[in-house]
Chain A
């Protein structure tokens, strides 16, 4: 295989990717952005392939985004939404994965509330696994679309000052963004109340602050995370209004920041909790562009993993029978 190609059958996170691999994903997404702006928004690349969205956590936007991406590539899409509690009593994740694979499914897009679920599934299956969010661990396509949007707006990532604000400790979006941005040379600052800063996060190279004004000062972009209420039930969260008062992104707060600061949010927005409506809908906001870019990124992820897996399958088939490595 030519050097610089994508050789992984799965996309599980950004921590294990090299700078070059991330750049390849972004460049590929760029080409796909052209495709989705055509009259006929379809290419036959994954025709005959089947993509299953296996979502153990409720999600509409990510699931629909992956579905649209897969359909634009001419793949067939099946959606499976399970409540984790019912699965707990029944089939294990790996059994579910293997059953789906037995239906000759090529790619499984999985969202799960347990960290490491996608990693575990990918190890056990020959099908490609794309992580659509596992517990607090990673949400690679979200971070990639965030980075893609930044690059589109500001031309490059290296040297950019990016702040991430919100519940960093429990956020897979934060983690994936931290890995992706630092690998591409951005200066990342994370900002949250102390209890929401995870131990050792400075070892990734990010700057840590509890002061929102400090986080916004001089930043080229700020990624505002949702204050999660549905995932965690036992941690102590500041009251919503108090959070807005101390960490909310408001027009007043932004007056002290760069005039052209880019406002990002993974959605869905909690208006009045982490972000003021005027800011979310304002001129600096790229929130809706993020959504569009999400399709291009997910097409790129599906495409690259599918072609790598085809190559791997061909290689395995042409070799004499020996102990096979799944990945």
Chain B
């Protein structure tokens, strides 16, 4: 199957922006990137006036299958991903059962093989049952295809266990993704601890509960000489800790989610449970710190932390509502609206955060529009505006932090593994 994408503005994190370029796809690879390609092809896509980006790679997605197929499945989640321009996801292992044993991994792998519409990379948990006590067999999971481990949703409280995890992960060359939260300090809180939590009369989650754990995990990673990836960075202290760790030569990477660079806790006046997230929305100075962290490359990736929940679990009292927001369908548009449009990142910078860096961290031959790269491409109209409504969503769940907002940037085509996997209209 040959596809020719004509006349688009090609953005590659390494080569920059190339105007009026053609991209030729053969089979599952990009075979040529140059002007005026004259080859005979099966399909031509006219990308005039549009941006041609490498398919996005989202390192933090909860597909909910197996166990909570009412919220999302591998099929519906990857379908939603493609609409959002995402061609590869790293599936979080806090499913039921958790991806903690070879059998459970095979179970998920089987589902992925049969139903996934985009690339799904497998992530194992750190401990059995995610209970924080007994380590999984990291090497075994790696041999079955796991590229990373995390107990995301929880942190491993026991230092000894976490230290051991880093060491074994290093030996197996597996990435450890750290959900940094000291539950003793977050104290059953539901939003950021501060004046907003005081006004709303809600229990607060202190910033210490995040950054003290970031501090610990960075220290343990250093001691073990292992790679660490800090998930969903939300506050300025965490950004600074990662910055210093990188300066001192540590092999650490970090991600943040779109809501952390576009919303702060003031949005919660009114008790909107679609803004109840863990870690919580913080203060305006944290939003600025995150943007600075993206700019100076302290933060390597943008990952949605796509967390689908049913209406039953969200449209209830704030205290009782589930934590989390969907995000895979809106992340590109939010990034365009809040970062590119506002001059925080340029297009190559955006593509680096949302495609190239995740590819490098996960060891994938993706994230680039260059000959030989995997043919994962998204074609975007960068000027078109759209309003986020519940009806828009392909995902089974509609708990978005951006409902009612107007965003810029609409995905027109998503090419995945050399095939047109999504087209608008």
Contacts and interface: CB of A to CB of B under 8 A. Distances in A.
Interface of A: 15, 88, 92-94, 112, 114-117, 119-120, 134-138, 169, 172, 175, 198-201, 203, 234
B194 A200 contact: yes
Contact of B316 (A92, A169, A172): A92
A199 B188 CA distance: 16
A202 to B, nearest CB: 9
B270 interface: yes
Contact of A200 (B187, B195, B312, B318): B195
A120 B187 CA distance: 24
A201 B202 CA distance: 14
Interface in B188-240: 188, 193-202, 204
Contacts of B187: 234
A116 B195 contact: no
A143 B315 CA distance: 29
Nearest to B188: A234
A120 B271 contact: yes
B246 interface: no
A119 B271 contact: yes
Contacts of A115: 200-202, 271, 318-319
Contacts of B194: 199-200
Contacts of B204: 199
A137 B201 contact: yes
A93 B316 contact: yes
Given A137-B201, A172-B201, A112 B195 contact: no
A199 B197 contact: yes
Contact of A116 (B193, B196, B202, B312): B202
B320 interface: yes
A93 B317 contact: yes
A116 B270 CA distance: 8
A-B pairs with lowest CB-CB distance, top 3: A200-B195, A136-B201, A137-B201
A289 to B, nearest CB: 27
Given A93-B316, A94-B315, A116 B197 contact: no
A15 B270 CA distance: 12
Nearest to A170: B201
Contact of A138 (B201, B318, B319, B320): B201
Nearest to A179: B199
Nearest to B198: A198
A119 B270 contact: yes
26 contacts: A88-B320, A92-B312, A92-B316, A94-B315, A115-B201, A115-B319, A116-B200, A116-B201, A116-B202, A116-B317, A116-B319, A117-B317, A119-B271, A135-B202, A135-B319, A136-B201, A137-B200, A137-B202, A169-B198, A175-B199, A198-B198, A199-B193, A200-B195, A201-B195, A201-B198, A203-B195
A120 B317 contact: yes
